[in-house]
Amino acid sequence: MVASVNTKSRILLVDDDQVTLTLLSKILEKADYEVTQAHSGEDALNVILMQEPDIALLDINMPGMSGLDLASRLRTDTSVPFMFLSATSDAEIVRRAVEYGAVGYMVKPVDVLNIVPTVEASLARANEIKKLKKSEINLTSALASGRETSMAVGLLMTKFQSSRQVAFDVLRNHARSNRRPIHEVANELLRAEETINQFRVLFNGK
């Protein structure tokens, strides 16, 4: 059984079929979700501009902007996770849904008993992906900070003919005494050296 991740989560339903919208809305609202309806891809984008939902449920086959077209916009222009609703479980459609980054898939006519569990599972998957992306960003930031610090230590070693440990200790102590992150001081030092080098080129050109 999938543990509920619903803490009044916001769901955007996008479908040109009002009967389907009404059915899904009633069931999800009864499960204590906050539901917003959109009858087209264009309407959905306007809704998202006002307030991003926690997940969007997209009908694949809609006139005008299809669910797949809308998914592409959501993927490139927003951070809104999405799942698909389709009248077919054709393997090719499912494959395309996965390629577009869908976190869930439901087939029409929807099984009433499966609506809430499927949405909960999709929300849980979306949250897992968000956590992974956040970890990747933090890791990238940490690696960049480490490179900056290492380069600054190398610069101090060259400038003052010191050992790596001494150069690192001086940099760290300076950062601590000024109550600043060491990577911030290191980056500032590197920028200052770059500026000096630019002036060195200007003077040598005289």
Q: Domain range for residue 148?
A: 141-205
Does residue 178 form part of some domain?
yes
Residues 88 and 157 in one domain: no
Does residue 122 form part of some domain?
no
Burial 99-119 (b: 16+ CB within 10 A, else e): ebebbbbbbbeeeeeebbebb
- In the numeric block, the tokens 């479980």 are attached to 89
Count how many domains the chain has: 2
Residue 6 confidence (pLDDT): 44
Q: Which amino acid makes up residue 147?
A: R
Say if residues 12 and 56 touch (Cβ distance below 8 Å).
Answer: yes
Residue 3 confidence (pLDDT): 44
Q: Which residues of the chain fall short of a pLDDT of 50?
A: 1-6
Residues 18 and 83 in one domain: yes
Residues 27 and 70 in one domain: yes
Does residue 128 form part of some domain?
no
Residues 100 and 173 in one domain: no
Residues 180 and 106 in one domain: no
Cβ burial of 52 (10 Å; 0-12, 13-18, 19+) is middle
Residue 43 confidence (pLDDT): 94
13: nearest Cα among 97, 118, 32, 34: 34
Say which CATH number the domain at 172 has: 1.10.10.10
Does residue 125 form part of some domain?
no
Residue 148 confidence (pLDDT): 80
Residues 27 and 85 in one domain: yes
Mean pLDDT of the chain: 84
Q: Which amino acid makes up residue 123?
A: L
Largest CA distance in the chain: 81
Residues 67 and 106 in one domain: yes
Say if residues 94 and 50 touch (Cβ distance below 8 Å).
Answer: no
Residues 194 and 149 in one domain: yes
Does residue 60 form part of some domain?
yes
> What are the pLDDT digits (tens) for 43-63?
999 999 998 999 999 999 899
- In the numeric block, the tokens 């393997």 are attached to 91
Helix runs in the chain, H state only? 18-30, 41-50, 67-77, 91-100, 112-160, 164-177, 182-204
The pTM of the full predicted model, rounded to 2 decimals, is 0.61
Structural domain ending residue among the three candidates 93, 110, 127: 110
Say which CATH number the domain at 31 has: 3.40.50.2300
Residues 89 and 178 in one domain: no
Residue 140 confidence (pLDDT): 63
Does residue 5 form part of some domain?
no
Cβ count near 141 (within 10 Å)? 11
Residues 92 and 183 in one domain: no
Q: Which helix (H) or strand (E) holds 11?
A: strand 10-14
